[in-house]
A and B are shown apart, each in its own frame.
Chain A
Amino acid sequence: AQSVTQLGSHVSVSEGALVLLRCNYSSSVPPYLFWYVQYPNQGLQLLLKYTSAATLVKGINGFEAEFKKSETSFHLTKPSAHMSDAAEYFCAVSPLFSGGYNKLIFGAGTRLAVHP
């Protein structure tokens, strides 16, 4: 069964510092991969997605993620953190052979804190 592991349930960075949120997946076939963000008291919002077109994926709000097959990783980065980036981030995988249905398997989430 496919799964997603997010290393670090909490990450704290200074404003202006690099943001790195880690995600590893387990799958014998590279799946589709997603990063979602959840702001307090809101639903999840798509940041970016990998669909095999390009290994470096750019998303909204200055975030990007790189798919590395050899490492089965899809880490999320942002060069310079902003206070408004404080939120919870979820990595998710969509199995390629799930009967055609866009079922997502979510990681446990990483809460990002940004301090002045």
Chain B
Amino acid sequence: DARVTQTPRHKVTEMGQEVTMRCQPILGHNTVFWYRQTMMQGLELLAYFRNRAPLDDSGMPKDRFSAEMPDATLATLKIQPSEPRDSAVYFCASGLGVLNGVDNEQFFGPGTRLTVL
């Protein structure tokens, strides 16, 4: 049963610390998305990649957030330094990204719940 995995599932850290969240997309998927979910803002798209290349990261605070795909099986989202307002659930999703096709489904991971004290 193919699924997106994310680690860690929960992270509590202190303000100013570096946080790294990891995502393993479904094998064969060529698009990867990072979302942040909060009560106030709902689901926000932070960044997305196609074939490991960043296509849009306009949703990310550039000064502290960075997203990378070192290889096709790993996507990372890093926050340095972290702040209390970064507390949220961060979701990774992957998909096939077929050109104007119908298979536009995104498959979501279980999320990383981040708490910054």
Residues of A within 8 A of B (CB): 32, 34, 36, 41-46, 49, 51-53, 90, 94, 96-97, 99-104, 106, 108-109
Contact of A102 among B42, B98, B111 (CB under 8 A): B98
A103 touches B48 (CB 8 A): yes
Interface centre among A34, A43, A49 (most CB of B within 10 A): A43
A100 touches B97 (CB 8 A): yes
Kindly state the separation between the CA atoms of A90 and B50 in the bound complex, as whole angstroms: 24
Contact of B91 among A44, A49, A100 (CB under 8 A): A44
For A36, list chain B residues within 8 Å (CB): 108
- B104 on interface, CB distance cutoff 8 Å: yes
Binary contact track B92-115/A, C-beta < 8 Å → 1, others 0:
010111111011111111110000
- B31 on interface, CB distance cutoff 8 Å: yes
Give the 6 A-B CB pairs with smallest separation, nearest first. Answer: A43-B108, A100-B99, A102-B104, A51-B102, A44-B108, A106-B43
B104 touches A43 (CB 8 A): no
Given A43-B91, A43-B110: A109 and B105 interface contact (C-beta under 8 Å): no
A43 touches B109 (CB 8 A): yes
For A102, list chain B residues within 8 Å (CB): 31, 95-98, 103-106
Contact of B100 among A43, A46, A96 (CB under 8 A): A96
User: Shortest distance in angstroms between A111's beta carbon and chain B's nearest beta carbon?
Assistant: 11
A46 touches B105 (CB 8 A): yes
User: Shortest distance in angstroms between B113's beta carbon and chain A's nearest beta carbon?
Assistant: 8
